[in-house]
Amino acid sequence: MRARAFKHDRIWGLVLIAFAPAQLLYLYFDVILLAPPDPDAPIAEFRALASDHAALIRWHALIPPINFLVLLLPASVALARRLRQAAPGSFWPEMVVPGSLLLSMTAVIGLQLFAVLGLVPVHELSDSAIRSAIMINAFLIWVVGSFAAALLAGSVSLALLHADPRPRMLVAFGLTAAGCGLAGQVWLVDGDFHGPLFGLNLLGRGLFLAWVVWAGIWLVRSPVSDERERASPGLTSLGRAVP
């Protein structure tokens, strides 16, 4: 039964890998097609965006629930299960699902707040309502979301420190992504969305996306152990003694 679960984990590893191109699709919608103004831009720019691209904003809001709730979160459950087997007794596998859940919730809720601009006629929204939605969106995505991404990558990497064999490069890359994500929080000091401090936050999120692919590859390629073979190494899978 356990071996079958681990074989299914390989499928979830492919799902985890698929999260990266799905996020790139979202970034194409967000950065290229929609190109929203900075959160501290004048309200008039957001009203113009909502008037010109209401339908695109609605489509844009559909991608995060699929990416995070259908791809990342279930795959993270499988990743945590595999880590418990690879690193028995480690505390860090227990933090994988909470980190993934926090990241998923901040992404979905934050983007749905932004979607209000496409769901509600913009003339019915007050300036304060628009500003509040945009600033909460920015806080969830770039503060809470960056912390959650660092928690997820860091938890997996720290758990793998206890694995045998230890994937050293994956661990180092994950800790680097987590470190950049946490260090990138200092951009709150100046709040400049174009400054070098915010660039560190962006670097952490980019490294996190690349790390997700690497973690998915590890989940696909990590060895599968059959509980019966571990208990009786002298028997084949058919129950006959090995000569």
* Residue range of the domain that includes 165: 2-224
Average pLDDT of 60-81?
A: 92
Identify the pLDDT of residue 213: 95
Instruction: Label residue 243 by pLDDT band (50, 70, 90).
Output: very low
In a domain, 56, yes or no: yes
Rounded Cα distance between 118 and 59, Å, is 9
In a domain, 234, yes or no: no
In a domain, 243, yes or no: no
Average pLDDT of 190-218?
A: 88
The answer to whether the CB of 129 falls within 8 A of the CB of 119 is no
Instruction: Label residue 125 by pLDDT band (50, 70, 90).
Output: confident
Instruction: Label residue 7 by pLDDT band (50, 70, 90).
Output: low
Please determine, for residue 209, whether its predicted confidence score (pLDDT) is greater than 80: yes
Identify the pLDDT of residue 3: 53
In a domain, 236, yes or no: no
Identify the pLDDT of residue 172: 93
Rounded Cα distance between 224 and 166, Å, is 15
Rounded Cα distance between 56 and 67, Å, is 17
Q: How many domains does the chain have?
A: 1
Identify the pLDDT of residue 107: 92
In a domain, 180, yes or no: yes
Rounded Cα distance between 178 and 157, Å, is 9
In a domain, 161, yes or no: yes
In a domain, 231, yes or no: no
Identify the pLDDT of residue 6: 57
Rounded Cα distance between 1 and 94, Å, is 22
Structure-model confidence comparison of residues 113 and 216, the more confident one: 216
> pTM for the complete prediction?
0.85
Please determine, for residue 5, whether its predicted confidence score (pLDDT) is greater than 90: no
At 179-189, the pLDDT tens digits run 998 988 887 77
Rounded Cα distance between 135 and 116, Å, is 13
In a domain, 237, yes or no: no
